A and B are shown apart, each in its own frame.
Chain A
Amino acid sequence: MSMLRPITAVLYREVLKLGRQRTRLIASMVRPLIWLLVIGSGFGTVLGGAGELSYQQFLAPGVLGMTMLFAAMLSALTMVYDKESGVMRMLVIAPFAHFWIVIVKTLSAALTALLQALMLLVLLALLGYLHPGSVRIGVLLTALMLVPFACAGIGMLAAAFTKTLDNFAAIMNFVIFPVFFLSGSLYPITQLPAWLKAIAMVNPYTYGVDLLKHALIAHAGGRFAPEFSTMLDVFVLAGFTITAVTIACVRFSGETAFDSVIRVLTGKR
């Protein structure tokens, strides 16, 4: 039970920081709404609907996923901030194995994502983007358990291979945006050219968006329908999360990588 300590400590700090950065929280609610209202209406006029589902309603699972992706990524990348600012020193000298730092940070990132997803769900319901009859609660709960962890996993992978925050723009451009755009959030991937479709198929986040579609717009027919089975989605998300966190753990506590972390922390050479 000794692992409860670092978990509560890291969560305590995360909650403090989140409470202090209210603008970050507000922005995390505004960003998906902008997508939904602005991009949704704009593209909607071009793409049209499918059956009874408008393009904006098709976007709802995508923006819900986006909120979790951004929240989890930003939270996971505080690993890099902690390395740079030195707070990581408190964690590496504390009495638990170093891979726990990765696990605890993953947990904290996933919970941050879940919190923001729940807030957005309330907003979406209030704005009428959720069809009460078509929401599958069981699938939604499963998605809310798996997607935040998968997003945190992507974030931890990025954090494990990033030395300084200077690379943040690169991560935005080469990780977050491709992961988001090539995921079926904005358009069904079956209609993409073969090579883009191939990338979307290996993107684990695609399966998170698909699971959210199963949860929110399963009734949609035609081209807006979910593209994979829920079983496949669950399997890929769980498998990816375990793999990503394991790689991040190994990378973080591995001899050479770890020494380089320590050297960054201690300013030695």
Chain B
Amino acid sequence: MSSGATPAIEAQALVRRYGDTLAVDGLSLSIGEGEFFGLLGPNGSGKTTTIHMLATLVRASGGSARVAGFDVASAPVKVRGQIGLVFQESALDRTLSVAENLRFAGMLYGLSRMEIERRGKALLDLFGIADRFDASVGSLSGGQRRALDIIRGVIHEPRVLFLDEPTIGLDIPIRRRIWRFIDGLRQRNRMTVLLTTHYLEEADACDRVAFIRKGKMVSQGTPRALVEGMGRHIVEFESERIDDLLTRVRPVLGNGLKEGPTALFRYPHEDTIALAKLQDELGPLASAMRIRRPNLNDVFLWVHSGTQVLGAPG
């Protein structure tokens, strides 16, 4: 992706220690200019800490990183001049109006009032809330506030934008709207975007994604390649005696994943006739069987469970 040109984000063996725990454990990343990159992983896997190290807010305990051409340790102020960061929680002042928040944010980057007003209104318009320019932040809906927080993060037109769970806690229509908005931003400014999210279907739009677990890189690639790496099919069984089922199926399909009353297996072959036979053999032990194409959620589930424990399918 980043061959030739300098990468927008380059991390070498980043480490962050909190007391005895390793939040990030030797993470290396290379993200090209203009790339849309998703950093995925379960809670506490080190996504936010990684973003904060790259954004110069948390010092790395080891390793190094360059963002927009500057070293995060030796030139943090230069890095901050090139990036935007949308935190998991709001950075807005709820006692001020939309316009006042944007003015405050823009002034911190040395933008003139006129420039802030022009850009702010254009960005609000992109989200369809240009009429709320003078409204108080307290009167905005949750989705509008999130959009304003993102606008706050891009008002200075950063080269690299970090989005830490930008759609967390929002309902699906508003999440889609936020994504269309971010898409629009990327097309306007050709920003590099590093995203963390829990909603895997949102990461489908990324150029590349990386899964991390316990601060370590588990796998990375295009969403398509990762999904294809899961094999042709995912087979789901439902059963009241799920452990018995896992034991019975293991010789045929290898190790599976247990998700409540459901067992998931990876099935590498296109031909599914063998599966019908298997269902016959299981009889009432399997109350239902579904065969479907894998998706990023499956990649996530397998990463989350730790592939080591489960082993690769045959």
Contact = CB atoms under 8 A, between A and B. Distances in A.
Interface in A77-116: 85-87, 89-97
Contact of B94 (A12, A13, A85, A269): A85
Interface stretch (A1-9, A169-177, A180-188, A228-236): A1-9
A96 B105 CA distance: 13
Interface string B27-52: 00000000000000000000011001
B143 to A, nearest CB: 18
B42 to A, nearest CB: 15
B108 A5 contact: yes
Interface size for chain A: under 10, 10 to 19, 20 to 34, or 35 or more residues? 20 to 34
A119 B210 CA distance: 59
Interface in A238-269: 255, 259, 262, 265-269
B60 to A, nearest CB: 11
A266 B48 contact: yes
B87 A89 contact: yes
A22 interface: no
Nearest to B107: A9
Nearest to B81: A95
A17 interface: yes
For B49, B83, B84, which residue has the most chain A Cβ atoms within 10 angstroms? B49
A32 B21 CA distance: 53
Nearest to B108: A94
Interface in B93-117: 93-96, 100, 103-105, 107-110
B138 to A, nearest CB: 12
Interface string A32-74: 0000000000000000000000000000000000000000000
B93 A85 contact: yes
Nearest to A93: B85
A16 B91 contact: no
A93 B80 contact: yes
Interface in A179-202: none
Contact of B110 (A5, A85, A93): A5
A107 B104 CA distance: 17
A91 B108 contact: yes
A20 B89 CA distance: 25
A267 B89 contact: yes
A262 B88 CA distance: 12
B48 to A, nearest CB: 6
Contact of B52 (A17, A86, A266, A269): A266
Nearest to A94: B108
Contacts of A97: 76-77
Contacts of B59: 255, 259
B213 to A, nearest CB: 17
A265 B107 contact: no
Contacts of B107: 5-6, 8-9, 12
B212 interface: no
B113 to A, nearest CB: 10
B282 interface: no
Given A12-B103, A90-B105, A94-B108, A265 B87 contact: yes
A96 B88 CA distance: 22
A89 B48 CA distance: 14
Contacts of B203: none
Given A13-B104, A93-B85, A267-B89, A2 B48 contact: no
A90 B109 contact: no
A12 B101 CA distance: 11
B55 interface: yes
Nearest to B59: A255
B87 A94 contact: no
A118 B294 CA distance: 71
A220 B77 CA distance: 53
Contacts of A2: 110
Contacts of B91: 86-87, 89-90, 93
22 contacts: A6-B107, A9-B107, A13-B93, A13-B96, A13-B100, A13-B104, A16-B100, A17-B96, A85-B94, A86-B89, A86-B90, A87-B91, A90-B105, A91-B108, A93-B80, A259-B59, A262-B52, A262-B57, A262-B58, A265-B87, A266-B87, A268-B49
Shortest 8 CB-CB contacts between residues of A and residues of B: A9-B107, A89-B91, A95-B81, A94-B108, A95-B80, A5-B110, A87-B93, A93-B85
